[in-house]
Amino acid sequence: MALSIHVNGGTEQKQFQEPVENPEFDYSQRGQWLRAAVLGANDGLVSVSSLLMGVGSVKQDVKAMVLAGFAGLVAGACSMAIGEFVSVYTQRDVEMAQMKRDGEKRSPVVDENDRRMEKKERLPSPGLAAGASALAFSVGAVLPLLAAAFIRDHKVRMAVVVVVA
């Protein structure tokens, strides 16, 4: 692609190379990670905000709210991480079994083993998925927790938690 630029009465041509998409890259994997991150952050935000509002409506003590919110953050992050680990591990197990069945149908060739190893490397990592999910939940949960921790007036603190949620 060429772009013409007019400079001081003359024309200068610049050549630009268009980006080439990698046909090997699986964009659906990126979409799954983005979906999990958004879901985790939203879950952290809503669940910890709800917990803070529940504790705050019963007791006006900021320490009780922050302690309950922190406990909710830890419990929620662990829950999301375990759920994501089990989900991705199951998906990986199914895909590996399918690759094994597909490999048995074909004749055993060295290239086939290389291809199978390459596919295994592209499968999602359950540990990485669990860590990412816990991190996303924690990021979402920290927002209402920080908003509540530094405000002493009870009514203002409750209003800020509602607005942050």
Mean pLDDT, residues 1-21 = 59
- Tokens of residue 121, six digits: 């490397």
Sort 53 into a burial class: Cβ within 10 Å, 0-12 / 13-18 / 19+: middle
Q: What pLDDT, on a 0 to 100 scale, did the predictor assign at position 72?
A: 97
Q: Where are the domains of the chain?
A: 27-164
Q: What pLDDT, on a 0 to 100 scale, did the predictor assign at position 46?
A: 95
**Please, which pLDDT band fits residue 112 given cuts at 50, 70 and 90?**
low
Nearest partner of 69 among 141, 140, 137, 139, judged by Cα: 141
Rg of the chain (C-alpha set):
25
Q: What pLDDT, on a 0 to 100 scale, did the predictor assign at position 37?
A: 86
pLDDT per residue over 41-53, tens digit each? 999 999 999 999 9
pLDDT per residue over 14-38, tens digit each? 555 555 566 566 666 667 778 888 9
pLDDT per residue over 145-159, tens digit each? 999 999 889 899 999
Mean pLDDT of the chain: 82
Residue the block writes with tokens 């991150």: 37
pLDDT per residue over 59-110, tens digit each? 999 999 999 999 999 999 999 999 999 999 999 888 888 888 887 766 555 5
Residue 100 CB coordination number (10 Å): 10
- DSSP-derived letter for residue 90 is H
